Chain A
Amino acid sequence: MARRFRWLIPYLFLLPGGLWLLIFFVVPMLVMASVSLQEGTIGTGYQLTWNFAVYPQVIDDWSPQFVRSVIYALIVTLATLLIGFPIAYTIAFRGGRFKNILLLLVILPFFTAFIIRTLAWKLILADSGFVLGTAKDLGLLSPGFHVLATPLAVVSGLTYNFLPFMVLPVYVALEKIDPHLVEAATDLYASRTQAFLRVTLPLAMPGVFAGSLLVFIPAVGDFINAAILGSRDTTMIGNIIQRLFLNTNAYPEASALGFVLMAAVLVLVAIYARVVGARGLTTG
């Protein structure tokens, strides 16, 4: 291969993929920005009127759903952390030879379609289904007890569906920790709890950070869980955007809402990054 053209190689490699992302990710974003500032209807056509007023308007119209989505996503992130961290810890530190098999077990259920998993939960949580129905027949629960169509159902569904996104990054971070560090801590008279809090946990932070992002960002925009397991009172911002785009065809409003969502996500992530600190990102 001619030495002269060697410098071209990386650019040739990244050209097809980079171009694809440019055309089908960046350009659509710009188009969406432009659409958000337009006015009109499908019938009359759209005009670019630089209608910045659409932004305060959509925030005003849909702020309850916005706040609700953020709150749900925060709860879900915390839940996946609380539930998932011990799982990752057990596999990393107690897994031994079975590490890969255990990881496989954690990932395997998620090879069924998202939709089917969520519908299965609808079945499990059904008011008179085989779980709740049996409990009610046995008198363990009052007949009026219901889980479906409540925020609890939506949050539970979200937590279940995003659990591996927390477990895997946390596992990767924990796995890199040198067990001798913990040993050294206990040699220096730290209790096992102290050793965990002061050695293991800080070193696991990059994984916690990555996992939190991987859970929060998709969760805040999700609408399937809310649609299948929720009710009108649990509508999330994702449902609204989808409805505005596909049902009422209110393209400018929907586009503006999409950008507000993106901005909110970026702001929250930036704040979180600040709190966790740059160290959380770079260690490990």
Chain B
Amino acid sequence: MQRISRALLPIYTALAVGYLFLPISVMIAFSFNDPRGRQNITWQGFTIENYFDVWRRPDITGPMTDSLVIAIVATIVATALGTLIGLALTRYEFRGQGPLNLLIYVPMATPEVILGASLLALWVTAGIQRGLETIIIAHIMFNISFVVVTVRARIAGFNRSLEEAAMDLGADEWTTFRKVTFPLIFPGIMAAALLAFALSIDDYVITSFVAGQTTTFPLWVYGASRFGVPPEVNVLGTLIFVVAFIFIVAQILWSRRQRWTLRSTEASP
């Protein structure tokens, strides 16, 4: 009896993982669908054409390019700003830590509708045209908090005795940071950047408020969903998924390699 009950949890988890991948499989499957002029909701026939066709459709690749540009810029800026804040919060004691923490956590606790709506109110009141710039600004804003949280977790778990060892050996603070600290917290920074990128490229709600005439990929997909989403959208979705997968695997392998290196340099207790 116990053996059956022990097997329940793993079986449940396997089913759960299947459930999680169900829409993804559908998305990937239907990227190979040949809708033959109809909507992409019933299977008509198999084709690889969509994967070549999508590059000939500027109405889809245009918004995708905008989304990528926004995501890249927003990720770089937000990661930089957020990492600095993360370092400040975990390494230094200073006045105003409480309010700063509040400033960082409240945006994460605010529903996206409100973040977007308040920014729209700001632009309308200031008479500023909404477009690519306002989207980037908004994305940087909501990404900073996530970067701070991610980086903090990494810095907090960091072994400071390595830094002390470096300084004992005569390195000044900047060199220590450059050669010891930064390389070791780098995985955390990369994880934060990856998170920021994913959040940015995926964002619909906040973007819909501040986009003006500009269309990003999620905005375009939502608009097209009224009339039927072409399989080319599934193609792009699948490609993003594959790229993300490769990135994550690479990151895990990198951090594993780093942990191995670290372990071999740690002094035995």
Contact surface of A with B, Cβ cutoff 8 Å: 1, 7, 9-11, 13-14, 16-18, 20-22, 24-29, 31-32, 34-35, 83, 86-87, 89-91, 94, 100, 102, 104-109, 111-117, 119-124, 126, 129-130, 160, 163, 213, 217-218, 220-224, 227-228, 237-238, 241-242, 245-246, 251, 254-255, 258, 261-262, 265, 269
Cα–Cα distance between A237 and B112 once the two chains are bound (Å): 12
B122 touches A31 (CB 8 A): yes
B30 within 8 A of A: yes
A1 touches B22 (CB 8 A): no
B204 touches A114 (CB 8 A): yes
Query: Shortest Cβ distance from A159 into chain B, in angstroms?
Result: 10
- Report if A116-B27 is in contact (Cβ < 8 Å); known contacts: A224-B204, A242-B208: yes
B60 within 8 A of A: no
Query: Shortest Cβ distance from A133 into chain B, in angstroms?
Result: 8
* Set of chain A residues within 8 Å of B1, measured between Cβ atoms: none
Contacts A123-B26, A221-B114 known; list 4 others, CB within 8 Å.
A104-B252, A111-B248, A117-B23, A117-B27
Which single member of B16, B104, B141 contacts A83 (CB below 8 Å)?
Answer: B16
B85 within 8 A of A: yes
Which single member of A119, A123, A265 contacts B221 (CB below 8 Å)?
Answer: A119
* Set of chain B residues within 8 Å of A228, measured between Cβ atoms: 222, 225
Which single member of A83, A114, A130 contacts B218 (CB below 8 Å)?
Answer: A114
Cα–Cα distance between A111 and B122 once the two chains are bound (Å): 31
Query: Shortest Cβ distance from B193 into chain A, in angstroms?
Result: 14
Contact surface of B with A, Cβ cutoff 8 Å: 9-10, 12-13, 16-17, 19-24, 26-27, 30, 41-43, 80-82, 84-85, 87-89, 91-94, 100, 103-104, 106-107, 109-115, 117-122, 124-125, 137-138, 140-141, 144-145, 148, 172-174, 198, 201-202, 204-205, 208-209, 217-218, 221-222, 225, 229, 233-234, 237-238, 240-241, 244-245, 248, 252
Cα–Cα distance between A22 and B122 once the two chains are bound (Å): 13
B244 touches A111 (CB 8 A): yes
* Set of chain A residues within 8 Å of B82, measured between Cβ atoms: 17
B23 touches A24 (CB 8 A): no
A9 touches B92 (CB 8 A): yes
Query: Shortest Cβ distance from B249 into chain A, in angstroms?
Result: 8
B144 touches A20 (CB 8 A): yes
* Set of chain A residues within 8 Å of B124, measured between Cβ atoms: 35, 251
Which single member of A22, A100, A123 contacts B103 (CB below 8 Å)?
Answer: A22
Residue on A with the closest CB to B114? Answer: A258
* Set of chain B residues within 8 Å of A222, measured between Cβ atoms: 111, 205
Which one of A94, A112, A227, A251 has the greatest number of beta carbons of chain B within 10 Å? Answer: A112
A28 touches B26 (CB 8 A): no
* Set of chain A residues within 8 Å of B22, measured between Cβ atoms: 120, 124
